[in-house]
Amino acid sequence: MDIVKLFKVPKLPIGGNKRKQLPDNPSPEMLKKLKVDTAPFSKPIPQLSAESAMTGTLPRRATVEDVVDEDEDSGFAPGGDADYFAEEDNEGRFFGGGLTSEQKEILNIFDKAEGIPIDEEGEMTLTQIRKSLVSFERAVNKNQDQRSKYPDDPSKFIDSEADLDSAIKGLLHISQSPSLAYPELVRSGAITLLVGLLTHENMDIVIDVVELVYELTDEDANVEEEGQDHEAAEDALKVLVEALVENSALELLVDNLGRLNEEEEADRQGLFHVLGIFENIIGLNPSLSSNLISKTNILQWIFTRIQSKVHDENRSYSAEILSIFLQHSSQNKRTLGEKNGVEVLLKVLSQYRRRDPVDADETEFMDNLFNSLCSALSDASIKKLFLDAEGPDLMILMMKENLESKSRSIKALDYAMSGPGGAPVSEAFVDALGLKPLFTAFMGKSTKRQKTNVDLPHSEDIGHVLGIFSSLLTNLASDSTHRIRLLAKFVEGDYEKVDKLIEVRDGARKRLRNTEKELEQEKLDDDVMTPEVEDAFYIRRLDGGLFTLQNVDYILAWLMMEDDGISAHALRMLDRGNQSLNDILQTLRIYHAHIGEDDGGSTIAQKNILEGLISALDSSP
């Protein structure tokens, strides 16, 4: 066996990104060339193509070469390699960097003279941060100067463009020290220069800025590392966001959405980062979502993007951003309605009437659209637009199919019928023959057209179905045909729907008992029960079964008050579980006691209804 041939290093492929070997005694020119090829935050000046020379832009896309990992080094230099016996892999083999001590010392001198210096612990000092910001400012000014002097000759400013590209990427390191770097970034005026680059003629530079802002505004980036002051980092991030808003960064980011060509991978990633910036900023300051909607065209852009026929990551992210916008602002909900957003949402959702999403990402997209619709439906004006756009009809059609959209459609109807403005939707729901699929979902029965491999009903579906029952009984006028049709559904089938209500009630009572035991133990451990603690305990009881119990008893109270047959049957079923009418009254009194007096007209009306139900049932024989 020829040992020499066995360990012979293969030649590198032409154009490969491997680090070049040095001879034992390199010349200064060769060291400079090596520095250009391997520096982590520098890159060789790209060559202009004919197209680039005409447009004045860097070749798509100007990127910085990655630092070659030591394990990928083709260098294998026994004897003269300073690190040869110091580096060892898991299998006991030794590898070196291919450099002698003298060569490494020379390269270290170059490293200290250029780029962003980092100390041995990976932390940046204020002096180092200021040096990097000065380098960035110089690169910006040089590029602006050369572009203004030679606007028609790209060869004159292409070098400065490459330097600016590297300078922007060099600022990525300051996200590691937000409490130190962000105030300095604002104080020095570099943030103004950075935002100004969002109008740069070269989209590669714009995308670099977007990526940098995305990293800087990510509140989770480098903040959770050991030794970081979370509170100081969060305060610094707020300072940065305020500066971005003051310099109109949000408006410029929205303007750039139209400049990005998603057929290009770099642009597609840049668009993703723009949306990420919006999410980061709104997560820190939710009120800024109103500024975005009112001062920019972002809402219309999202409408166009979610209606795309081709589904991808950015389409899904656009739907998520829309959902975030509508969570934090009533004004945003009204603006959605004014810009025909309800009809857009229903149009996009209609594609899931007869088919399921193809994968988890599209399922998330559909969920975000339904969440946006449900958030908007909390506003009375949106309920009317939902009704005018035949939203109840579409939701009923979805309910009839045993697809993933079924549960979401039930949830949307629950939101649409509840609260102020829910009465017209409730009547339209009955007129559109929605009672049959609603009770089918409640009873867990499947139709011939439904798949049989899906277990129904889901617990979440039951909660929203109970919400719809409550809204129907609250909103439908007495002695109206709509209300009579509803009551008839509870009577038919030998009161089987009433039996189902009692079954759901027993399950809620069991869960509530377990929750009460946990709370009692916590009360023993904590002698002080402040009003805040009491409120927290009540919320936990709601989550632990009380909310469902209140809904069921509210429905039973209405049914028992209006129909003697239902009342007699319900009392017999309650007696089998050692329950009685008094237990229902006790639940309603607790419900009544926790409805605020100053929460608006809807809660006052609900409080009055509960008082009437309690009075009627309390006086019954």
For range 120-131, the mean pLDDT:
75
Mean pLDDT confidence for 79-94? 43
pLDDT (tens digit per residue) in 467-480: 999 999 999 999 89
| Between 361 and 57, residue with greater pLDDT | 361
- Cβ atoms of residues 475 and 417 within 8 Å: yes
Better-scored residue on pLDDT, 10 or 196: 196
pLDDT the model gives residue 353: 95
What whole-number distance in Å separates Cα of residue 218 and Cα of residue 213?
A: 9
Q: Which of 522 and 442 is assigned the larger pLDDT?
A: 442
Residue 54 in this model has a pLDDT that exceeds 80: no
Tell me how far CA of residue 85 lies from CA of 3, 7, 21, 78, 96, in angstroms.
20, 17, 18, 9, 7
* Helices and strands (H and E) in the chain: how many: 30, 0
Q: Can you read off the two tokens belonging to residue 348?
A: 């996009």
Query: Reduced to 3 states, what is the DSSP secondary structure of residue 94?
Result: strand
Q: Are 435 and 489 in contact (CB under 8 A)?
A: yes
pLDDT per residue as tens digits for the range 223-274: 444 445 778 888 999 999 999 999 999 999 999 999 999 999 999 999 999 9
> Average pLDDT in the 177-189 region?
93
Same topology for domains 123-285 and 324-476, yes or no?
yes
Of the given ranges (277-286, 321-330, 527-536, 609-618), which has the lowest mean pLDDT? 527-536
How long is the chain? 621
Q: Is the pLDDT of residue 444 over 80?
A: yes
Average pLDDT rounded to a whole number, residues 345-361: 96
- What are 94's strand-pairing partners? 88
Two tokens, residue 225: 């590392």
- CB count in 10 Å sphere of residue 360: 9
Answer yes or no: is pLDDT of 459 > 80: no
The CATH number, out of the four listed (3.30.1380, 3.40.1130, 3.30.530, 1.25.10), of the domain defined by the range 123-285: 1.25.10
Residue ranges per structural domain of the chain: 1-114, 123-285, 324-476, 492-618
Question: How far apart, in whole angstroms, are the C-alpha atoms of residue 206 and residue 439?
Answer: 55
Per the CB < 8 A criterion, the answer to whether 407 and 367 are in contact is no
* CATH number attached to the domain at 324-476: 1.25.10.10
Place 40 in a pLDDT band, splitting at 50, 70 and 90: very low
Structure confidence at residue 31 as a pLDDT band (50, 70, 90):
very low
The pLDDT of residue 248: 95
In Å, what is the CA distance from 486 to each residue of 411, 480, 503? Answer: 19, 10, 20
Q: At what angle do helices 230-246 and 203-217 cross, to 10 degrees?
A: 140
d(CA 217, CA 228): 16
**pLDDT over 60 at 180, yes or no:** yes
Q: What pLDDT does 605 receive? A: 84
Name the phi and psi angles at 421, rounded to 5. 85, 0
